[in-house]
Amino acid sequence: MSSQWTADDVPDCSGKTVVVTGANSGLGYEATKALAAKGAHVVMTVRSPERGREAAHAVQDAVADADLTLAKLDLADLDSVRRFSEWFHDTFDELHVLANNAGVMAIPRRETEQGFEMQFGVNHLGHFALTGLLLDRLRETEAETRVVTQSSGIHQNGEMDFSDPMAENSYDKWAAYAQSKLANLLFAYELQRRLERVGEEGVLSVGCHPGYAATNLQRRGPEMTGSFVRKLGMGLANRVFAQSAEMGALPMLYAATADDVRGGSYIGPTGLFGMRGYPGTATSSEASHDEDDAHRLWELSEDLTGVTYGI
């Protein structure tokens, strides 16, 4: 593994189809641009088609021959996830990488269309359903394929509260975010174990995190509460402490494309407490490796989404 692996080191992706959730800004946008520059056909999934079109035009301005498809996907609505899956199956015969990147962070309590707490619903359940619905395409593709799930260093603070997973009795925005990011890793590791149990060697499940990267994610919470002071503080922290979104996207790109990545890996920045730097192997919390919690979360996720994997 190179100590200074960058987007220039992404291998040739010609002929590969990649789905990136939350592709219109931040990490998703930077990953889309880098993958398109290496020849991938990138399916940019976005909640807002208007913002998606702006982002697609910007990628095409930066990468003249970018091969892009824009598709609407709202991870806060399982009906939208199913519609996207049906459209994808009708449109594409192969899927090489599914990058589960989109997310929300530390927002006031909201609920998804199906009544799930928003952070758990979008960050985990939406991606759990999406992955399950696209798994057949990943397994049918002849080349090696990957599911890359974006977590966060904040998962270290997470605890799975199975007695109140939707935080209906007590809600703390940061605790809910940490739980959703822990759920991302429990899912990523459990998916790899299940694939191995059925002898599926062609699909890898990998977790990653961006460190502290300057994106729009930090702005959403303050905007939703109308807190100008907090929004100003987040913006200042981004400028002073955070690395760029381009750097923050490198662990996801590495997890998605590097030849030496193994299933069940966790990739993140290797410098300054894992908050910044070039990508490499990272260490996740003990809780993220709890197989009993992973199994329990899997069963809960199948019950809530109605999506079963058959593995």
Show which residues are catalytic. Answer: 177
Residue whose tokens read 């709890």: 290
- For residues 132 and 305, what is the distance between their CA atoms, to the nearest angstrom? 10
Helix (H) or strand (E) holding 3: none
- For residues 11 and 221, what is the distance between their CA atoms, to the nearest angstrom? 36
- For residues 234 and 64, what is the distance between their CA atoms, to the nearest angstrom? 34
Is residue 101 within 8 Å of residue 21, measured between CB atoms? yes
User: Per the structure block, which two tokens stand in for 86?
Assistant: 């049906």
The contacts of residue 209 (CB under 8 Å, 6+ apart) are: 150, 151, 152, 153, 155, 251, 266, 267, 268, 269, 274, 282
SS3 267: strand
